Amino acid sequence: MLENYFPILVFILVGLGFGCAPILLGWLVAPNRPDSEKLSAFECGFVPFEDARLKFDVRYYLIAILFILFDLEIAFLFPWAAIFKEIVATDAVRVFGFIEMFVFIGILVVGYVYAWAKGALDWE
């Protein structure tokens, strides 16, 4: 019974080996000669004047979430478009397929209009 899982164990070990070997080789072989320039806070030319953990505006996250939401919803249209010829060719599914997609797009439009009305897409 356990011999059936041996190839999986070997696969995991080889994967870990391929992942860890370059890191270990880099750590062992790479020269380690730090100087004051390399140990400075930033190499961009100026000393940091604020904390790096500043709060971002909530609108940035809102725009990002809305983009991901509508982008993923559009991904649901591709399978429907891929079988569009089959939907149209089958009499029993023809009306249901169109109504289903119009309901789906309608929900997307209602969500888009709601986000627009609430000012989620305005960037001042």
pLDDT confidence of residue 58: 76
pTM: 0.50
DSSP character at residue 121: T
| pLDDT-derived band at 43, boundaries 50, 70, 90 | low
Domain for residue 122, yes or no?
no
* Dihedrals phi, psi of 77, to nearest 5 degrees: -80, -25
Domain for residue 18, yes or no?
no
Place of tokens 């023809």: 94
pLDDT confidence of residue 2: 79
Domain for residue 93, yes or no?
yes
pLDDT confidence of residue 45: 60
Residues with Cβ within 8 Å of residue 76, at least 6 apart in sequence: 104
Contact between 37 and 43 under an 8 Å Cβ cutoff? The reply is yes
Domain for residue 51, yes or no?
no
Domain for residue 79, yes or no?
yes
Domain for residue 87, yes or no?
yes
Q: What percentage of residues in the chain have a pLDDT greater than 70?
A: 85
Contact between 73 and 108 under an 8 Å Cβ cutoff? The reply is yes
Domain for residue 69, yes or no?
yes
Domain of 70? 58-117
Domain for residue 37, yes or no?
no
Q: Which residues of 84-115 are buried (b: 16+ CB within 10 A; e: fewer)?
A: eeebeeeeeeeeebeeebeeeeeebeeebeeb
What's the total number of domains in the chain? Answer: 1
Which is higher by pLDDT, 3 or 1?
A: 3
Token pair listed for 33: 């000669």
